[in-house]
Structure 1
């Protein structure tokens, strides 16, 4: 198995994040001014890393986040199927309290092991993993150098938990938060997980798929 590391990075901030809107369907909302600044800070942070490929989901916010990093590394941004956010179905586009509470109920069930729990009219954690994990296998197969996937908060957390064998305590991924994993036999190893701010403005207790 490759010894290359996998960077799972959440996109920068969007206006939907600020409003608390559920935004899971590509192309979705673009980065706001703060989000663009976060993307450039990310590029400066990782400029010296031995990254050989930068992938992004089909969401515009993920592509905009990946672009400065790819440019700093003299790489292009490659779009990758399967790493978009968990689909929230009937809750899409809503920012009202009942919608966010409905999302939170299902999201918390994921973390008690109920991977078949489903967003109303949407997707389950098991379905998210069924599309995300093969995408990881595809880009890491034979990789020589580290690989970046710019994705989404809930998707990253669910996929990382699966790669780690559901044995590691995962947490909210902040905007442009970085999770670094390394293949290590039957289970991956957690090398780094960016801490979250104590009271993020754009999420409920579990996190918003946006």
Structure 2
């Protein structure tokens, strides 16, 4: 299938103050976050992006707009509720240092598959709807643009971690072992055989190697893992 570039939104005022923003309105990128989003856009400018999809929350839409502005072709930004932030319910808007004293905090850290936020959603439900949305969108992008297509999904830390965990075949209870910083780039290539995680939490460097050779055809062998690791992509310095 196609290749999805997962971009977390840039740093926000809530991130800087140690507040769990959740789905609260009006949470915007701070000055550092805006610069981070612009740099992410510069890194992605050399890729042939077929689509840019974003969580509907403002911080993600700002980041997606920066990515689109840096791209040489006018790539339209669309929103997708399936990759919006986890519904933290009564937890949103509260300081993290305060939440760390709650009994639920320990469960979120050690067994997130059993964690459900008061008046919000469970982490299992969060992962299920995010993974379903990304896989559905990826299939749609491939159907329209071919198996070599590359697209961007701008989302949130826990959402991206849960999608990466699914691609890695990790149980949700292990997803806290992954780290996804503001404006970082991760990449997954979905194929008929398995998903391939190409990058996680990447902050700098050329990304042109992420795009596979464009073709309307795909052989079964092309989806196989190379025994011994293979030769890797051909990138001209």
TM-score range, shorter chain: 0.7 to 0.9
Q: Is 1:109 matched with 2:110?
A: yes
* Structure 2: unaligned runs, 5 residues or longer: 204-237
Shift of 1:95: 0.8
Q: Following superposition of structure 1 onto structure 2, how do residues 153-164 of structure 1 map, counting pairs within 5 Å?
A: 153-164=157-168
CA contact (8 A) 1:109 1:117 kept: no
Q: Residue 194 of structure 1 aligns to a residue in which SS?
A: strand
CA distance in 2, matches of 1:118, 1:109: 13
Q: Following superposition of structure 1 onto structure 2, how do residues 123-138 of structure 1 map, counting pairs within 5 Å?
A: 123-138=121-136
Q: CA, structure 1 residues 171+101, in 2 after alignment: closer, same or farther (shift >3 Å)?
A: farther
Q: How many residues align?
A: 191
Q: TM-score, normalised by structure 1?
A: 0.82
Q: TM-score, normalised by structure 2?
A: 0.74
CA contact (8 A) 1:106 1:118 kept: no
Specify the alignment match of 2:59 in structure 1. 61
Q: CA, structure 1 residues 28+152, in 2 after alignment: closer, same or farther (shift >3 Å)?
A: farther
Give the structure with higher Rg (CA). Answer: 2
Shift of 1:85: 1.4
Q: Residue 8 of structure 1 aligns to a residue in which SS?
A: strand
CA distance in 2, matches of 1:141, 1:86: 23
**Please, what is the CA RMSD of the aligned residues?**
2.1
Shift of 1:72: 2.5
Identify the range of structure 1 (96-105 vs 86-95) with the bigger mean alpha-carbon deviation: 96-105
Q: Is 1:178 matched with 2:182?
A: no
Higher helix proportion (structure 1 or 2): 2
Q: Following superposition of structure 1 onto structure 2, how do residues 77-92 of structure 1 map, counting pairs within 5 Å?
A: 77-92=77-92
Q: Which has the higher contact order (CA 8 A, sep 6+)?
A: 1
Q: Is 1:165 matched with 2:163?
A: no
Q: CA, structure 1 residues 84+34, in 2 after alignment: closer, same or farther (shift >3 Å)?
A: same
